[in-house]
Amino acid sequence: MLETLGLMGAGFINALTPINLLMMAAGVALGIIIGCMPGLSAAMGVALMLPLTFTMKAETGLIVLGAIYCGAIFGGSISAILIHTPGTPASAATAIEGYQMTLQGKAGKALFTACYSSFWGGLLSCISLYFFAPLLAQLTLKFRSAEYFWLSIFGLTIIAGVSGKSIVKGLISGALGLLISTIGLDPVTGAKRVMFGQAYFAEGINTTCALIGLFSMSQVFILAEKKIKERAQATKFSDKMSLTRDERKMIRPTILRSWVIGNIIGLLPGAGAAIACFLGYNTSKSFSKHKEQFGRGSIEGVAGSEAANNAVTGGSLIPTLTLGIPGESVTAVLMGGLVIQGLAPGPELFGKYAPMTYTFFAGFVLVQFFMLGIGLLGCRGFAQISRLSDAILIPCVTVLCCVGSYAIHKNILDIVVMMAFGVLGYFMRKLDLNTAAVVLALILGPIGEKGLRNALKSSGGDPMILFSSVVCWVLIALCIVGILSPMFMSKLEKKAEKEAISGTGEDIEQLTEEDSV
Amino acid sequence: MKKFLALMLALCMVFALCACGGGGAAKTSGGPFAPDGPVTLIVAYKAGSGTDGPARILAQYAEKYIGQTVVVENVPGGSGSIGWSQLAASDPDGMTIGVMNLPNFNTTITEELGTYTTADFKAICNHVTETSIVIVRADDDRFPDLNTLVEYGKAHPGELRASTNGNHASNHLGAQLFAKSAGFSYIDIPQGGTADQLLSLRNKESDFTVVKLGDISGQESAYKVLGIFALERDERFPDVPTLAELGYYDKWVGASRAIVAPAGVSDEVISFYEDALKKTMEDPDYIAAAASFDTNFLDHEATAALIEEQQAAAEAQTDEFWSFD
């Protein structure tokens, strides 16, 4: 215990180096910029910036990615409030009350509420990260091949979750990802599978290239196809960005409720910030003493949505760091960063690599403060950015995609693979298939295959080994929950959306579907 | 604002390009060789890997004797074959050398991952030698010594399980040589990496396993070392018998990392680096920095012989060798 406290303290000291602080500030600012530009999602932003972290120290790299993640989730609220277009799906519910406040000339107040609630949501989620992550990591020491098999199956139920709208399309996407994950040397016998005689494919498809292609490059194609369109004019606002003491007191219980909701949603595979914001918003509405303000610019509504979506960040890092099962698509990308730094999710992160891990945690806590500061000071500037022309955006993102995938191994073939996945991602989106499901299947496929085959090998082919431990049965139960949860979740989400819409008469459904990545 | 943004994005890209790094120099030859620019040391595994760390320490201390900056270039992929292909195809001007992992290098040839042969490289010297050991869990009372493990294996055919670091990988080879020479059979559980391999032993999925001596440093208390694949006992484990003295496999087994150059380099280049690296490995500062791994200098002739010996051994490992039927 004392040792852990020491590690936590040392983490803060390590995180406070000038370079780390600089990177936090830059990461948060970049994240907010990405977040407030409609069309660029948090997952895409993190994927794009991932290669820039290769040359950094592991903890610094992870802190930058965490900063972009938090910044982007908050940044989405700026355009949601000012131009009624959520910058990321995670802020869809914020648009409801936030834009009403803007129309009443209270945009400053709305932005302050968003920033303040995001800060508390994120900060509180760090508590659960500190508390639960090491516990879960200890558990993985008990994991053998059979448990890893079930773990990957559990992770694959995420596919049903992230697909949301159509389970069949989610499963098609997942199957495609699993198929692609078989490329390379067979993990058990060493046979060459679908390698076309190229040693390049021996270690399989590079996940990072695949996700840069699927998340970022495909978005470029989509943007380019839409041609260069004019974005809505951001409203200039003149009121002061602040809340009175009474108002802050009023949103305090809302923030606490949204923290719990966001955290649980983050932990659950398949449910991400987009769902959390609606649940947070609705809960704030049902518990509010001022229900009449909802739909007419309620600060509680903004707080409920924004605290919940930022509370997801810390929550979804827990399964990512401990089990290697990302809680949502952004953390799937973050995990790519972890692996490239030579770190594998699991107990070693809290043993051998504990100093690094606790530095990252401390950085994640500090990032929340940067988010508060930069958010409050820079809001007016960031509001202008949401108007940035696609003509600038498209070439910049394309260059970053190419440079990023080349930087991993300095192999030109990686750019080819990235482009191929970009094209694949474009067509998948056109067909309403799910690119995040492909990435998850690419990560989980090899874990599951190795687990199943090694488990059967060690038991001499007896399948009962798959049901031989308590952990196995717990995971099987979680799989069943995982399969059933999306149906439950989509019902919950639809209900929440419906209630939200019926309160305002505004059609925001289209906003939530715009970018499911 | 727009201009400012465009500038920021442009800056991002500059950083991204910087991340790619680079470097290299050409040179003409004549007379005794000395590099006239930064020397590239190709490592066929990613930065931070088990091969990368010792190579970087060598590169750092070698600069004093080479007289130039030594840039470690990580070219991972294809189980190492991408890096070794690039090394084989480099200009033989003495500006590019590389690390060759034995026996992984030999396996890429027998598994037809690389298009090169041993003839495409010229040995400079050996850098690191790691000896294989047989280990069990420290609290496993069934196996106080190697003989009881063998007896158990013979009495319960096909019941013992051993995790390996991959199919036909170095530690699988060790386990196979041990079992074949002792006359028992076991089930191999390929884990794809040494960390997972050890975890598999600790959580009782495996009964024994073969790793390198250095792999268990810092966690010796968790394991019991039953035997060592060497001709003599190791001074760190004086009580651990060699497999040879117990009457099992009687040759050295382990992994080596040699420093090699593309085949076309002149003899002057080889002797320049051989000399410089020998001095490096005798440098007290290097020895202090390299305490965590087993430095083992061999001259270019002995290293070349080692590469050929390992290649012949790899080619002798037919399907029959890898099975128990």
Higher pLDDT among residues B279 and B216, named by residue: B279
**What percent of chain A is helix, strand and coil (3-state, nearest 5)?**
75, 0, 20
Mean pLDDT of B230-250: 93
Query: Which H/E stretch holds residue A484?
Result: helix A470-504
| Cβ neighbours of A380 (radius 10 Å) | 14
Bridge-based pairing of strands B223-228 and B39-43 is unpaired
Mean pLDDT of A143-150: 89
Q: What is the pLDDT of residue A87?
A: 77
Task: Pick the range with the lowest mean pLDDT from A439-443, B54-58, B261-265.
Answer: A439-443
pLDDT exceeds 70 at position A515: no
- Report the C-alpha gap between B287 and B148 in whole angstroms: 39
Nearest C-alpha neighbor of A115 from the set A303, A325, A247: A303
- Report yes or no: B279 at the A interface, CB cutoff 8 Å: no
- Report yes or no: B292 at the A interface, CB cutoff 8 Å: no
Mean pLDDT of B222-244: 93
Q: What is the pLDDT of residue B156?
A: 93
- Report the C-alpha gap between B3 and B10 in whole angstroms: 10
Using one digit for the tens of pLDDT, what is the confidence trace for A80-92?
Answer: 888 777 778 788 8
pLDDT band at A228 (very low <50, low <70, confident <90, very high): low
What's chain B's average pLDDT? 87
Q: What is the pLDDT of residue B164?
A: 92
pLDDT exceeds 90 at position B180: yes
pLDDT band at A70 (very low <50, low <70, confident <90, very high): very high
Residue bearing tokens 């039953």: B226
- Report the C-alpha gap between B224 and B231 in whole angstroms: 20
In chain B, list all ranges with CATH 3.40.190.10: 132-252
- Report the C-alpha gap between A432 and A222 in whole angstroms: 13
pLDDT above 90 covers a percentage of chain A that reads 26
pLDDT exceeds 70 at position A149: yes
Tokens (6 digits) for B297: 């200098």
Give Dmax over CA atoms of chain B in angstroms.
79
**Chain A residue with Cα closest to B206:** A458
Mean pLDDT of A406-419: 86
- Report the C-alpha gap between B256 and B100 in whole angstroms: 8
Contact B189 A411 (CB under 8 A): no
pLDDT exceeds 60 at position B22: no
What's chain A's average pLDDT? 83
pLDDT exceeds 90 at position B132: yes
Task: List CB contacts of A377: < 8 A, sequence separation 6 or more.
Answer: none
pLDDT band at B27 (very low <50, low <70, confident <90, very high): very low
Q: What angle do CA B172, B178, B182 make, to 5 degrees?
A: 145
**3-class DSSP assignment, residue B161:** strand
pLDDT exceeds 60 at position A229: no
pLDDT exceeds 80 at position A494: no
Higher pLDDT among residues A408 and B130, named by residue: B130
Which candidate from B5, B18, B47 shows the least CB-CB separation from A385? Answer: B5
pLDDT above 70 covers a percentage of chain B that reads 90
Q: What is the pLDDT of residue B14?
A: 59
Q: Which amino acid is at A7?
A: L
Which ipTM was obtained for this model? Answer: 0.78
Higher pLDDT among residues A400 and B208, named by residue: B208
- Among A23, A52, A236, pick the best mutation site for testing chain B contact (most B Cβ within 10 A): A52
Task: Pick the range with the lowest mean pLDDT from B8-12, B30-34, B138-142.
Answer: B8-12
pLDDT band at A506 (very low <50, low <70, confident <90, very high): very low
- Report yes or no: B53 at the A interface, CB cutoff 8 Å: no
Q: What is the pLDDT of residue A517?
A: 38
Task: Pick the range with the lowest mean pLDDT from A383-392, B33-42, B313-322.
Answer: A383-392
pLDDT exceeds 80 at position A347: no
Residues 70 through 99 of chain A touching chain B, CB cutoff 8 Å = none
Task: Pick the range with the lowest mean pLDDT from A123-132, A220-229, A250-259.
Answer: A220-229
- Cα distances (Å, whole numbers) of residue B84 to A473, B29, B274: 46, 24, 20
Query: Which H/E stretch holds residue B137?
Result: strand B121-137
- Report the C-alpha gap between A204 and A188 in whole angstroms: 14
Higher pLDDT among residues B10 and B315, named by residue: B315
pLDDT exceeds 80 at position A101: yes
- Report yes or no: A403 at the B interface, CB cutoff 8 Å: yes
pLDDT exceeds 50 at position A508: no
Pair B114, B81: CB distance under 8 Å: yes
Contact B77 A388 (CB under 8 A): no
Q: What is the pLDDT of residue A81?
A: 87
pLDDT exceeds 50 at position B236: yes
In chain B, list all ranges with CATH 3.40.190.150: 37-129+254-316
- Report the C-alpha gap between A108 and A100 in whole angstroms: 12
| Cβ neighbours of B240 (radius 10 Å) | 20
pLDDT band at B319 (very low <50, low <70, confident <90, very high): confident
Q: Which CATH number fits domain B37-129+254-316: 3.30.310.50, 3.40.190.150, 2.60.120.1310, 1.10.10.10?
A: 3.40.190.150
Using one digit for the tens of pLDDT, what is the confidence trace for B61-101?
Answer: 999 999 999 988 888 888 888 899 999 999 999 999 999 99
Q: Does domain B132-252 have CATH number 3.30.1280.10?
A: no
Task: List CB contacts of A491: < 8 A, sequence separation 6 or more.
Answer: none
Contact B9 A203 (CB under 8 A): no
Mean pLDDT of A155-166: 68
Residues in chain B closer than 8 A to A396 (CB atoms): 6, 9-10, 12-13
pLDDT band at B233 (very low <50, low <70, confident <90, very high): very high
Mean pLDDT of A128-139: 84
Q: What is the pLDDT of residue B323?
A: 85
pLDDT exceeds 50 at position B244: yes
Task: Pick the range with the lowest mean pLDDT from A444-448, A474-478, B12-16, B159-163.
Answer: B12-16
Tell me the shortest Cα–Cα distance from A163 to chain B, in angstroms.
Answer: 31
Query: Which H/E stretch holds residue B223?
Result: strand B223-228
Contact A385 B191 (CB under 8 A): no
Nearest C-alpha neighbor of B235 from the set B294, B173, B147: B294
pLDDT exceeds 80 at position B123: yes
Higher pLDDT among residues B158 and B121, named by residue: B121
Using one digit for the tens of pLDDT, what is the confidence trace for A271-323?
Answer: 677 778 888 888 888 888 888 888 888 899 999 999 999 999 998 898 888 87
Which candidate from B5, B76, B108 shows the least CB-CB separation from A388? Answer: B5
Torsional sign, CA A106, A111, A116, A121: positive
**3-class DSSP assignment, residue B189:** strand
Q: What is the pLDDT of residue A274?
A: 76
Bridge-based pairing of strands B254-262 and B208-212 is unpaired
